[in-house]
Structure 1
Amino acid sequence: MTIAPETAPRVALITGATQGLGLALAEGLAQRLSPRDTVYLTGRDLDRVNCAVDAVPGGGAQVRGELLDVADPHAADRLAGRLRERHGGVDVVFGNAVMRVGPDDDPRKIVTEYAEVNNFGTTRVLRAFAPLLREGGRLIVVASSLGTLHYLAPVLHDRFDGLTSLDEVDEQVAAWRDAVADGSARGGAWPGFVNIPSKIGQVAAVRALAHQRRERDAARGVLLAAVCPGMMNTPTSGMWWDVSGAPSPADAAVPLLDLALGPVDPGHYGQLVRNGDVLPWKPGE
């Protein structure tokens, strides 16, 4: 099924789009869509948003910059309201906003802001934009292969498995955040790398919302999924690993764009997808 009738202008939005993968997604969408379509490139710094918009090559969809700080509890709802007034709905949303951490960062000091952006920012975007999806729309959260229960101690699996609402996901993320902040996570089963529980929380959020929307989304050809772009050659990744041979953000964006603009595979719904394949959520699947 196509995203929308060919006669209808399409609307796409990317959060965290001023650099890296987010900017590559904005550029890729602009190239693949038509001049009648609109791509919203968003970020939390207006100067960087404007510079990123200016850097996108012309010739495709119209690229518009919008200020969106997903850490602001009301920002996603405000932007969703403006897009509803302008366009009536949206066709493609990539949730890509992320706070980056380095090996020298103390998890106890950064975890509150980290969860606010990466996790509560994700659930805010899901709440705000899922109701705006038009027939055949796509709502895709950029996560990681670390976002599965394979990377979490079995004693903690029940924290994130089987959740059926975004409120439940937020509650579990808040409990993890507080345990890291007060130091109690160090003496328990939580992994020391905060990226693991955070990514698991993002995928759990997609799964919880999919649990609620699956039937009506299937009837409307809507895809809700998390996606793993794989290792990329970026300065942030380079602080942790040798990424000299890793794909560029532009190359890593290609399968994500295919997922957003190609035919819907019902098997992808509510799942974590990497290069077109579903990554199992937990051992035994």
Structure 2
Amino acid sequence: MTTTPKIALVSGATQGLGLALVEGLVDRLGPADTVYLTGRDTERVAQAVEAMPGGGAQVRGEILDVADPEAASQLATRLKERHGGVDIVFNNAVMRVGPDDDPRAIVEAYAEVNNFGTTRVLRAFAPLLRDHGRLIVVASSLGTLHYLAPVLHDHFDRLASLDDVDKQVAAWRDAVKDGSARAGAWPGFVNIPSKIGQVAAVRTLARQRREDDTARGILLASACPGMMNTPTSALWWDVSTAPSPAHAAVALLDLALQPVKPSHYGELVRNGEVLPWAPSR
């Protein structure tokens, strides 16, 4: 029986966790399979592809700037024309923030990449998933309602569509920009509402697709890689004993390559376990 070659894509893949995910996919997939290593900088994408070790799956570089409103849909169209669909997508592109950054100055670009970039990837690539496909959004354990004041829970809980998610993220972004968030219940650390918005986007799309995806063996989920030893994390915390990106990537690769657990569908998963979305009532 002929097996259709697998097609995988990783966004934000020129360094750190994204690069480790590509390396892991290359190692665990076969020579007939293809892994797309994507990023927004042409030179860095080319260098990352060139540095990939031989053996395993083929690696192809593509430019994907998720902050560009059209980039994800344009790349999805090209992959559909080339391959007919995709099997594994890791949405890993992220804009990082440092402790010295003024949230009002960076929140627009931050939301554009982390949140609107996420919903763009979901809209573009979820329809391309073949049977038994995986679409995993790299998020954080901070992306649950546990870290948000109860008065704000309705902003992200049980939204009807990705458009509604985008509207709520835009309202939060604007409140940070004009300073009104400081007078409200929003946390000062912009990473928290942003990650909650990412997880809410996955949950929202999963409610719409659950029946069909379940029948086709598709997994749509968000995943927390945990604390990693990276230069950006070191700006905030002591990460000297934290795992490397390569080590952190293992659990995410298992999620993408091992048989689907129905309990993972639409949820935030860390090391194979579902993190509760909301506090117990």
In the alignment, what sits opposite 1:111? Answer: 107
**Counterpart residue identity of residue 68, structure 1:** L
In the alignment, what sits opposite 1:258? Answer: 254
In the alignment, what sits opposite 1:277? Answer: 273
**Counterpart residue identity of residue 171, structure 2:** A
Work out the CA distance in 1 between the residues paired with 2:248 and 2:263: 22
Give the deviation of 1:164 after TM superposition: 2.3
Work out the CA distance in 2 between the residues paired with 1:6 and 1:187: 61
Are 2:206 and 1:215 aligned?
no
Work out the CA distance in 1 between the residues paired with 2:2 and 2:64: 29
Work out the CA distance in 2 between the residues paired with 1:164 and 1:145: 23
In the alignment, what sits opposite 2:180? Answer: 184
Are 2:81 and 1:85 aligned?
yes
**Counterpart residue identity of residue 107, structure 1:** P
Are 2:257 and 1:249 aligned?
no
Q: Which moved more, 1:48-57 or 1:213-222?
A: 48-57
**Counterpart residue identity of residue 138, structure 1:** R
Work out the CA distance in 1 between the residues paired with 2:101 and 2:63: 27
Give CA-to-partner distance per residue, 1:187-223, whole Å, 9 cap, x none: 1100000000000000000000001000000000000
Q: After the TM superposition, list the runs of 4 or more consecutive aligned residues in structure 1 that deviate by more than 3 angstroms.
A: none
RMSD: 0.9
Give the deviation of 1:19 after TM superposition: 0.2
**Counterpart residue identity of residue 52, structure 1:** A
> Which of 163, 166, 169 is equivalent to 1:167?
163
Work out the CA distance in 1 between the residues paired with 2:50 and 2:237: 31
Give CA-to-partner distance per residue, 1:67-93, whole Å, 9 cap, x none: 000000000000000000000000000
In the alignment, what sits opposite 1:131? Answer: 127
Matches within 5 A, 1:187-206: 187-206=183-202
**Structure 1: segments with no counterpart, 5+ residues:** none
In the alignment, what sits opposite 2:91? Answer: 95
Give the deviation of 1:6 after TM superposition: 6.7
Give the deviation of 1:55 after TM superposition: 1.6
Distance 1:6 1:156, change over 3 A: farther
**Counterpart residue identity of residue 177, structure 1:** R
Give CA-to-partner distance per residue, 1:138-183, whole Å, 9 cap, x none: 0000000000000000000010011121001000000000000000
Are 2:75 and 1:76 aligned?
no
In the alignment, what sits opposite 1:62? Answer: 58
In the alignment, what sits opposite 2:34? Answer: 38
- TM-score, reference length from structure 2: 0.99
Work out the CA distance in 1 between the residues paired with 2:94 and 2:52: 21
Are 2:7 and 1:11 aligned?
yes
| SS state at 2:115 partner | helix
> Which of 137, 150, 153 is equivalent to 1:154?
150
Give CA-to-partner distance per residue, 1:232-280, whole Å, 9 cap, x none: 0000000000000000000000000000000000000000000000000
Work out the CA distance in 1 between the residues paired with 2:156 and 2:254: 29
Q: Which moved more, 1:54-63 or 1:85-94?
A: 54-63
Work out the CA distance in 2 between the residues paired with 1:27 and 1:83: 20
**Counterpart residue identity of residue 187, structure 2:** P
| SS state at 2:121 partner | helix
Are 2:25 and 1:29 aligned?
yes
Give the deviation of 1:61 after TM superposition: 0.3
**Quick one: percent identity of the two aligned structures?**
79
